[in-house]
Structures are given as structure tokens and as C-alpha cells.
């Protein structure tokens, strides 16, 4: 983390988590990173479940109907609903213990996917955006031609369990070790047992994140479910130390 060849790295605390933009292209202006953070702050204002005047809080209090909300809010809620069906109710924006509307699980990935488009439009070809451990990378960590994405070891905090090597991918990990047991099975309202973490890779971070949350909430059965995913690969770490991967999971050494 000390030697950076070129480009620019910036960290800001947005949406309740650290977001790191690591841009390696020398010929892309800093304003592209300004634009990314401006976008994420705008998303936070619109989707925050902590800010009473956000559109999400207003919809939750029935002060705003979903049809009158900003097109982005409508698009996110529609995608949440689609994912709820696709995941048999495991990915549920009202799954929290208080039953309040909380699309944060999708908003994080969705906003990073859009941030990547901002960087693409500015001509960036080599970058990583890491939002609280969920990642979108493109190109390589110049002068390297690829990115090495470490997957947090769920038991030994100062180690990684695997490395994903890629030049164009979204990587999302869901686990109980991160901020306490914040993922619950909406059907039992309990934290899943038997699984330490699930990592999903694919083209779209919002979808990868939702799938990771789902597979983790399902418990050990989640690994079986990940086999049915189209275009997304999975690595599941079980409490007994077994690591299950789908055939195309891009693990490097």
C-alpha cells in the first residue's frame, strides 16, 4: 500500500462506509474522482435509511409514493423486487428486524456500478472501486496488467483466504465477521449457521452483492444454490473449514 506507480487514490467515508477509488491511469483528470464521490454523496442523500429527509425514509413513512420517487429510486426498488423473486425471498428489502424499507444491500453495489461508468466515460481503463469490501475493478493495478483481489479470511483476521485475479470483474463478499451478524435469514429471522462467508464474482456488483447476501442467508444450502446462477461464480467458506467453489471461480495463486 506504500508504492503507487501513478494515477491517484482517494478514500472518503460515504454511505456509512469507507469507499476507496484507486485510479491508475495517469492521463485521466482528478475531476473524474471528484465526480465519483459527488455521485456517491448524491446517492447517500437520496437512499439513506438514516437521513429522515431521504426519499427512502419518506417512502417508508408513506409521505412519498414510490411512483413519484426519482427514476433511480424506482429503478432500484424494481430491481430489489425482481431479486426478491429470484432469490425465493432471501433478498428482501424489508428483512430487517424492524421491518423498515432498507434497500442498502442493493444500493451499495448499484451505486458502484454507476461510479464505474463515470470513470469509463472519463477515459479510465485501469481502476478499482472498493466500497466497504465490495469491489469493481477494470484493467490492472498498473504496472501490473491485472488486479489481485484478496478475499478476507473469515477466521484469521490478518490473512486472506483466496486471491481473485482479474482485469474486469465485480467481487462481493458477505460474512458474519464483518460488522457483527448483520445478515439474517428473513424466513427464520436468525443469523445463518454453518457458513462463514460467501464471495460472488460477476459483471454487475449490485447483483453479485445481492447473490452473496442471499447465499449467505441460506446457510450451507447456499453453496448448492450458487450452482444455479448464470454468469456469476461463487466461493463459500463453511464453518468446518471447507471451501466450495463453482467451476469458473477465478481464483489465482
**Contacting residues toward another protein, per CB under 8 A:** 1-2, 11-13, 17-18, 20, 22, 128, 130, 132-135, 137, 141, 144, 147-164, 171-173, 175, 177-179, 197, 199, 223-224, 227-228, 237, 241-247, 249
Between 122 and 163, CB nearer to another protein: 163
Contacts of 109 (CB under 8 A, 6+ apart): 131, 134, 170, 172, 204, 205, 206, 207, 208, 209, 210
Q: Which of 193, 235, 187, 172 is nearest to 87 (CA)?
A: 187
Q: Which is closer to another protein, CB of 140 or CB of 186?
A: 140
Tell me which H or E stretch contains 32.
helix 31-47
Nearest CA among 238, 22, 29, 8 for reference residue 148: 22
Distance, CA of 46 to CA of 73 (rounded, Å): 8
The residue among 69 and 175 lying less far from another protein, judged by its C-beta, is 175
CB of 16 vs another protein, minimal distance in Å: 10
Closest approach of Cβ 62 to another protein, in Å? 30
Which run of H or E residues covers position 212? Answer: helix 205-217
**Minimal distance, residue 161 CB to another protein, in Å:** 6
State the minimum distance, in angstroms, from the CB of residue 52 to another protein: 17
Q: Which is nearer to another protein, 73 or 146 (CB)?
A: 146
Amino acid at each position: 500500500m506504500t508504492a503507487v506507480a501513478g494515477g491517484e487514490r482517494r478514500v472518503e467515508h460515504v454511505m456509512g462506509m469507507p469507499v476507496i477509488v484507486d485510479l491508475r491511469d495517469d492521463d485521466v483528470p482528478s475531476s473524474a474522482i471528484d465526480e465519483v464521490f459527488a455521485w456517491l454523496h448524491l446517492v447517500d442523500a437520496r437512499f439513506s435509511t438514516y437521513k429522515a429527509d431521504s426519499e427512502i425514509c419518506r417512502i417508508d413513512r408513506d409521505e412519498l409514493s414510490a411512483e413519484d420517487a426519482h427514476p433511480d429510486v424506482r429503478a432500484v426498488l424494481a430491481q430489489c423486487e425482481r431479486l426478491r423473486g429470484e432469490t425465493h425471498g432471501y433478498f428482501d428489502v424489508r428483512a430487517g428486524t424492524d421491518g423498515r424499507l432498507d434497500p442498502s444491500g442493493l444500493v451499495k453495489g448499484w451505486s458502484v456500478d454507476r461510479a464505474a461508468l463515470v470513470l469509463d466515460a472519463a477515459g479510465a481503463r485501469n481502476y478499482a472501486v472498493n466500497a466497504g469490501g465490495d469491489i469493481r475493478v477494470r484493467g490492472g493495478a498498473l504496472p501490473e496488467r491485472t488486479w489481485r483481489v484478496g478475499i478476507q479470511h473469515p477466521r484469521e483476521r490478518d490473512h486472506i483466504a483466496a486471491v481473485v485475479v482479474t482485469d474486469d470483474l465485480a467481487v462481493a463478499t458477505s460474512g458474519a465477521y464483518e460488522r457483527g451478524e448483520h445478515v439474517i435469514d428473513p424466513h427464520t429471522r436468525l443469523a445463518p449457521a454453518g457458513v462463514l462467508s460467501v464471495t460472488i464474482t460477476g459483471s454487475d456488483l449490485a447483483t453479485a452483492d445481492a447473490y452473496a447476501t442471499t447465499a449467505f442467508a441460506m446457510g450451507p444450502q447456499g453453496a448448492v444454490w450458487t450452482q444455479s446462477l448464470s454468469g456469476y461464480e461463487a466461493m463459500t467458506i463453511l464453518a468446518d473449514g471447507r471451501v466450495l467453489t463453482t467451476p469458473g471461480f477465478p481464483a489465482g495463486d
